[in-house]
């Protein structure tokens, strides 16, 4: 039997508790060995089709040695993360997982984009040729910040609070404009974020109107911010900065985690804003197609 045929692959749309614990353990072992920091999303709640297989688990002698995750919040593109335990590399396991992925999801006609860290690819230059893929020009800056409080003047007219169901339509309206996606996709995203037990969707309100929103994911070792957006007519007024400061201060008091956020490479204005808020570049996450 060939080395790259030893691994048994199981696919599922949702991890059970045992699979999740094994996946989290594998991720920690891989990150410790590779000195990487991006943790793949272990929930399918934001995928456009929750019945679609989103996790491909590779086992050798009942031990989880490889993992592929699929994040697809729209039916056009899927972000893929692949992790292989350091003791089980150079066996073709990453290539095998990717092959099973393509075979399993061929009817979805998705464009697959592998997310990886630039530093990891530099240390493993043979990975992309083995997968038959190339590095894309675009990438993401991932920034982190420590748990230091912000000095912030309370703006009584602005209320920062967890979102409720009645806020979803307003959130979807300005998020669709901010991120250039359809209202339906934005609404699905907001609805899933509201229901996600591992995160919390926050909003800024003024006079009963929703001005901004941001989701915090608590499932990793960080408070990970994503989907930060301010309604177009309220931009340039410091609302986003105030929002971030209030959120950070509240979470410093609530848990022991530091903070993490991702910014697309072309959005240098946002990167500079977060750097002014004390965030520092941690890694660069690249797209491989």
Q: What is the pLDDT of residues 232-265, one digit of tens each?
A: 999 999 999 999 999 999 999 999 999 999 999 9
Nearest-Å Rg of the Cα atoms of the chain is 20
Query: What are the Cα distances from residue 182, in Å, to 115, 134, 186, 262, 285?
Result: 24, 29, 6, 22, 25
- The class level of CATH for 145-288 reads alpha beta
Evaluate if residue 101 carries a pLDDT over 50: yes
Q: Give the pLDDT confidence of 114-135 residue by residue, as tens digits.
A: 999 999 999 988 888 888 889 9
Separation of alpha carbons 197 and 206, rounded Å? 27
Are 146 and 41 within 8 A, CB to CB?
no
- The class level of CATH for 3-133 reads alpha beta
The residues spanned by each domain of the chain are 3-133, 145-288
Evaluate if residue 4 carries a pLDDT over 50: no
Q: Give the pLDDT confidence of 83-96 residue by residue, as tens digits.
A: 999 999 999 999 99
Encoded tokens for 140: 């993401």
Q: Give the pLDDT confidence of 182-232 residue by residue, as tens digits.
A: 999 899 989 999 999 899 999 999 999 999 999 999 999 999 999 999 999
Q: Comparing C-alpha atoms, which of 204, 206, 211, 214 is closest to residue 231? A: 211
Q: What is the pLDDT of residue 126?
A: 86
Task: Give yes or no on whether 3-133 and 145-288 have one common fold.
Answer: yes
- Name which residue leads in pLDDT, 3 or 126: 126
What residues form DSSP beta bridges with 232? none
Separation of alpha carbons 62 and 58, rounded Å? 9
């Amino acid at each position: 039997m060939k080395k790259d045929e030893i691994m048994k692959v199981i696919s599922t749309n949702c991890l059970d508790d045992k699979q999740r614990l094994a996946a989290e353990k594998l991720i920690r072992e891989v990150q410790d060995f590779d000195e990487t920091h991006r943790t793949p999303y272990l929930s399918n709640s934001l995928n456009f089709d929750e019945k679609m297989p989103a996790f491909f688990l590779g086992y050798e002698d009942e031990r989880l040695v490889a993992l592929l995750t699929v994040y697809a919040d729209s039916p056009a593109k899927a972000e893929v993360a692949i992790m292989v335990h350091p003791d089980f590399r150079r066996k073709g396991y990453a290539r095998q997982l990717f092959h099973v992925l393509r075979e399993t999801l061929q009817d979805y006609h998705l464009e697959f984009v592998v997310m990886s860290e630039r530093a990891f690819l530099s240390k493993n230059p043979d990975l992309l040729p083995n997968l038959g893929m190339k590095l894309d020009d675009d990438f993401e800056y991932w920034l982190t910040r420590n748990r230091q409080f912000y000095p912030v003047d309370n703006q009584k007219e602005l209320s920062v609070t967890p979102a409720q169901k009645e806020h979803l339509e307003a959130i979807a309206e300005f998020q669709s404009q901010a991120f250039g996606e359809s209202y339906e996709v934005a609404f699905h995203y907001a609805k899933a974020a509201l229901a996600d037990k591992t995160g919390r969707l926050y909003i800024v309100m003024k006079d009963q109107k929703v001005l901004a929103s941001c989701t915090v994911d608590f499932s990793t070792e960080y408070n990970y911010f994503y989907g930060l957006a301010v309604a177009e007519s309220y931009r340039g007024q410091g609302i986003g900065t105030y929002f971030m400061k209030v959120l950070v201060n509240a979470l410093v008091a609530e848990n022991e985690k530091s903070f993490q956020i991702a910014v697309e490479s072309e959005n240098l204005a946002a990167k500079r804003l977060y750097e002014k808020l004390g965030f520092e570049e941690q890694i660069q996450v690249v797209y491989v197609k």
